[in-house]
Amino acid sequence: MDDRTTRPAPAAHHTLRILALLSAQRGPIAASTIAHALQLPRSTVYRLLGVLEEHGFVLHFPEERRYGIGIAAFELSSGFMRQEPLTRLGRPILSALVDRLGESAHLAVLHGRDVVYLIEERAPRRPHLVTDVGVRLPSHVTASGRALLATLPKSQLRALFPSSESFEHRLDSGPSRYAELSRLLDGVRERGFAAEDGDVTEGIASVAVAVRDHTGWPAAGIAVSFPRDAIPVERWPDLAAEISRAAAELSRRIRGR
């Protein structure tokens, strides 16, 4: 056997670890911070950062003496999005979820104060919903949106909803002030799932769970929608447990595992 297939590649391994660390930060960080976090010699870190900077994967901010993600890394992420991985990876998971539950399911992502629906898998003999592919809805009135908003830091949540004018409504339902939204999301965090009952479509309820990426950031929300009288409220936690398993599987897949 060619020993090139089994020989460790420490430089490549360390380079990928540096990129992963930088991508998880809120802003540029010092080389010493990278060395400490990854337990690498500073000389190794500086050498690898130099190579990454040369190829555009890292930016150096000389006045701050810090390093951040470069445009080439951004292009990689753009390529990731162009290939629609959430849709490709999520569709079979949602199809299996619909088969198990006999209710419709959808996948949505957060975009500003809205959610945008990427997938809708409708169960047989269930009505068509407004959550069709490409539809945008206010996040604070949807179960998927509430599941995603509940994962955000309070400071970011406040920035998204700075005033009462930020709250667009459907059917005159859902929170209309930040304090109401904050209390609602506290309940989501406590229960481990989000729900809405007729806030989007009269007579239809939804239960949702967030899908997290490798940094713990919300990548998408999976929701199951059903006629209000089909599943009693006391069974919603069991429904959420099924959705959570689907969300965990999608999270595992988008992490490449």
What CATH number corresponds to the domain at position 41? 1.10.10.10
- For 89-191, where are the E strands, in sequence order? 104-111, 114-121, 136-138
Which residue pairs from 67-74 have beta carbons closer than 8 angstroms and sit at least 24 positions apart in sequence?
67/22, 67/28, 67/29, 67/30, 67/31, 67/34, 68/22, 68/25, 68/27, 68/28, 68/29, 69/19, 69/22, 69/23, 73/19, 73/22, 73/23
- Let me know whether 49 and 118 are in one domain: no
Of the residues 77, 95, 127, which one is the last residue of a structural domain?
77
Give the pLDDT score at 134.
Answer: 82
Its domain, for residue 238, covers 84-254
Tally of structural domains, the chain? 2
Q: What are the average pLDDT values for consecutive 10-residue runs of the chain, which has 257 residues? A: 52 89 86 93 94 92 91 66 73 96 94 89 85 86 96 88 81 83 96 95 95 85 95 97 97 79
- The answer on 95 and 147 residing in a single domain is yes
Residues 18 and 98 in one domain: no
- Report the alpha-carbon distance of residue 59 to residue 236 in Å, rounded: 47
Which residue, 43, 77, 111, sits at the end of a domain? Answer: 77
Indicate if 64 and 100 belong to the same structural domain: no
* The pLDDT of residue 111: 84
The CA distances from residue 30 to 33, 61, 68, in Å, are 5, 10, 9
Q: The CATH number of the domain where 145 resides is what?
A: 3.30.450.40
| 175 and 237 together in one domain | yes
**Dist CA 205 CA 227 (whole Å):** 6
Please check whether residues 116 and 24 belong to one and the same domain: no
Q: How far is CA 247 from the centre of its chain?
A: 10
Residues 205 and 224 in one domain: yes
Place of tokens 């899908």: 211
Out of 22, 43, 77, a domain closes at 77
Res 6: pLDDT: 44
* Same domain? 151 vs 176: yes
Tokens 């949106």 identify what position?
A: 145
22 with 109, same domain: the answer is: no
Same domain (yes/no): 189, 98: yes
Eight-state DSSP code of residue 122: P
- For residue 3, the model assigns a pLDDT of 43
Residues 31, 59 share a domain: yes
